Amino acid sequence: MALQTDWTIEAYESEHGARPAWDFIRDQSGRNRTEAIGLVKLLEEQGNRLRRPQSGALGDGLFELRGKEVRLFYIFLPGRTIVLLDGEVKKRDDIPRKTLERVRGYQAEVRRRARAMCREREW
């Protein structure tokens, strides 16, 4: 039996069609863009096996990809799916409270949608 290695990477999408994580990556240039893309590829390959220094748990199922200057926030869903929520350029060691509040709001919305889809499939 072959070991399944790749995960599916998706991006949170707001009701208005914004995709904060993809927008963040697209808006980066040079080293930050290269670093962000490399981190996403690493996450796709390693999924929940990825550990520090590239990945860190933030509690309640929220994780961050950690580069030298780039942070990308993500969660796991069933079916080997990873949802990228948002990103930011690191300006200090801790994550700003407003950033965490925003990302946790995205996380809650993704979870609500996932639960709703599960209920629909049961019908």
Q: What is the dihedral of CA 53, 96, 82, 105, to 10 degrees?
A: 160
User: What's residue 36's pLDDT?
Assistant: 97
Number of domains in the chain: 1
In a domain, residue 97? The reply is yes
In a domain, residue 1? The reply is no
In 3D, which of 50, 123, 103 has the Cα closest to residue 38? 50
In a domain, residue 60? The reply is yes
User: What's residue 116's pLDDT?
Assistant: 84
In a domain, residue 111? The reply is yes
In a domain, residue 3? The reply is no
CATH number for position 28: 3.30.2310.20
pLDDT in tens, the chain (123 residues): 445 568 999 999 999 999 999 999 999 999 999 999 999 999 999 999 999 999 999 999 999 999 999 999 999 998 899 999 999 999 888 899 999 999 999 999 999 998 887 766 654
User: What's residue 120's pLDDT?
Assistant: 63
With beta carbons less than 8 A apart as the criterion, state whether 72 and 63 touch.
no
User: What's residue 1's pLDDT?
Assistant: 44
User: What's residue 54's pLDDT?
Assistant: 95
Domain span at residue 92 reads 8-122
